Structure 1
Amino acid sequence: MCGRYALTATSKEVFEMLNALGEDDFPARYNIAPTQPILVVMSSERREPGSNLPERRAFLARWGFLPGWVKDPKDFPLLINARAETAIGKASFRAAMRHRRILIPATGFYEWRRPPKESGVKPQAYWVRPKRGGVIAFAGLMETWSSADGSEVDTAAIMTTAANVTIRHIHDRMPVVIEPEDFERWLDCKTQEPREVAHLMRPVQEDFFEALPVSDLVNKVSNMGPELQKPVPVAEPAEQPPKKPKSDPGQMSLF
């Protein structure tokens, strides 16, 4: 899954990389969490003068997907991720896969390796970033949810797929990364049906990311500074006291 990520690039870097128009400058965010507003990018109907690429617009959406048919959000689970393998046919995501595919800019994400409790090792947080640096784009889905009183909220989910070798020792899932050359196809919901972009929802190349162990500061949403991404030594298993050998009932004692 993907439950925390970061976007620390400048707005200029983000908008240039995604060829999008959006709001003015925004702050670096080192610990983006579910239910918070996140920056998303969607194709627009208009086109930039002199450009053969569709104009893309960037705007904020709530991280936590709500299908349009939901009556009361309090009675519906928080959907922060959509599984690439099932999103096309799943009722919650089917319409968005067909009509509202988006890109979610990021500079990396956090994941936790959770050893067995008996190991004596606490969960270890990792900061997973592209080796080349810069901005990347997660595949995402969006839905505008309308309440009974007529108010509306844009909601979004990050798509995940099976982890590649680099991430698999930490977690079995990872976000789907869309490469720049595939942006247009992924966002084109008019001519590109879900089955025609299904192959884009695959694990990224094995050497694309690097995973750095970081402290548990990232566990708290209130921690939002660059110190969250400072590498730390990996915790070692606690030493277990040697077990006493079991006595053999068939052996006679001398005492």
Structure 2
Amino acid sequence: MCGRYAASRRPEDLTGLFQVERWDPDETLAPDWNVAPTKEVYAVLERPLKDAADRRPVRQLRTLKWGLVPSWAKTPEGAARMINARAETVHEKPSFRKAFFQRRCILPADGYYEWMTGADERQLEEAGKKKRPRKQPYFVTPADGSVFAMAGLYEFWRDATLPPGHPQAWWATCSVITTEAETTPLAVAPAEGPSALADIHPRMPVMLTPDRWDAWLDPARTDGEELLALVAPPEGGLMRAYPVATAVSNVRNNGPELQEELAAPEETTLF
């Protein structure tokens, strides 16, 4: 899964990188090195501009709330549980199906965090210890330093308890699409620890390489097989992963130091 990521690039950089035509400076977000569910995040998407006479899709940089609320939901309470959509079933699940065919986006990131258990639970059981070991966080990022373009979906939800003109009457929310983690060797592996992403966690965000960006964002593309091909895992060996401090586990911690590489995993003590 993907439950935490980093997004520190400036909107001015993202608009150039993704060839964005429209961005509202009033929607500027501060750099975030510890993005958690329900936070606002940047998303690149294509849709007609509101109230524009020309209904052509325009590539935009928008801010969305992470945690998708389906348009038919009665309340937004389940948003924190809808942060991920599985690539294998995204075209079938009622919560994601309509967005998959009509509202796709790219969620730009520096990389994502994933936690790996250092001790074997069987060994703990044999030792008579019932508590789990502290998990070691890893930061996973493109080895060449490029943007991590995560495949995403977005949706709009209307809060019927508020009048139409209320600024919070509409929610714009999103999910990250995930797939099976790569089993191929990492482009750069830590001296100690996992040699492949699957060693850390069985799932990972779908990484869209630049050659897939236009097709993924194009709302005119509605063929299911073509869209599913776009969320197939890219060529392996593009990523690196390295251990970072457990401070990232607390969402209140936020700063570039969370991405600093440790020489070795922290000692896995019980808590």
TM-score under structure 1 normalisation?
Answer: 0.84
The aligned runs of 1:77-156 (5 Å cut-off) are 78-115=81-118, 116-117=120-121, 118-119=123-124, 121-149=133-161, 150=164, 151-156=169-174
1:160–1:174 Cα contact (<8 Å) kept:
yes
State the match for 1:160 in structure 2: 178
Secondary structure of the corresponding residue to residue 139 of structure 1: strand
Q: Tell me whether 33-42 or 4-13 shows the greater mean CA deviation.
A: 4-13
Distance 1:91 1:58, change over 3 A: same
Q: Does 1:212 align with 2:242?
A: yes
The aligned runs of 1:65-84 (5 Å cut-off) are 65-74=68-77, 78-84=81-87
The aligned runs of 1:1-255 (5 Å cut-off) are 1-20=1-20, 21-24=22-25, 26-45=29-48, 55-74=58-77, 78-115=81-118, 116-117=120-121, 118-119=123-124, 121-149=133-161, 150=164, 151-165=169-183, 166-232=196-262, 233-235=264-266
Percent identity among equivalent residues?
A: 35
Secondary structure of the corresponding residue to residue 212 of structure 1: strand
Deviation string 1:84-126 (CA, Å, 9 cap, x unpaired) is 0001011111110111011111111100112444457421100
User: What is the CA distance between 1:204 and its match in structure 2?
Assistant: 3.1
Structure 2: distance between partners of 1:221 and 1:157? 19
Secondary structure of the corresponding residue to residue 92 of structure 1: coil
The letter for the 1-side match of 2:209 is E
Secondary structure of the corresponding residue to residue 77 of structure 2: helix
TM-score under structure 2 normalisation?
Answer: 0.79
* Larger Rg belongs to: 1
User: What is the CA distance between 1:2 and its match in structure 2?
Assistant: 0.4
Structure 2: distance between partners of 1:40 and 1:114? 31
Structure 2: distance between partners of 1:99 and 1:143? 9
Distance 1:92 1:109, change over 3 A: same
Distance 1:76 1:65, change over 3 A: closer
Deviation string 1:130-176 (CA, Å, 9 cap, x unpaired) is 11103221100111011112511001000000000221000000000
The letter for the 2-side match of 1:43 is E
Count of aligned pairs between the two proteins:
232
Structure 2: distance between partners of 1:227 and 1:77? 26
Distance 1:59 1:237, change over 3 A: closer
Structure 1: distance between partners of 2:96 and 2:29? 29
User: What is the CA distance between 1:193 and its match in structure 2?
Assistant: 2.5
2:141–2:148 Cα contact (<8 Å) kept:
no
RMSD: 2.1
User: What is the CA distance between 1:200 and its match in structure 2?
Assistant: 1.4
Gaps of 5+ in 2: 50-55, 125-131, 184-195
Structure 2: distance between partners of 1:208 and 1:163? 12
Q: Tell me whether 4-13 or 86-95 shows the greater mean CA deviation.
A: 4-13
The letter for the 1-side match of 2:146 is G
User: What is the CA distance between 1:213 and its match in structure 2?
Assistant: 0.4
User: What is the CA distance between 1:13 and its match in structure 2?
Assistant: 1.8
Distance 1:54 1:135, change over 3 A: farther
User: What is the CA distance between 1:54 and its match in structure 2?
Assistant: 6.1
Structure 1: distance between partners of 2:173 and 2:60? 15
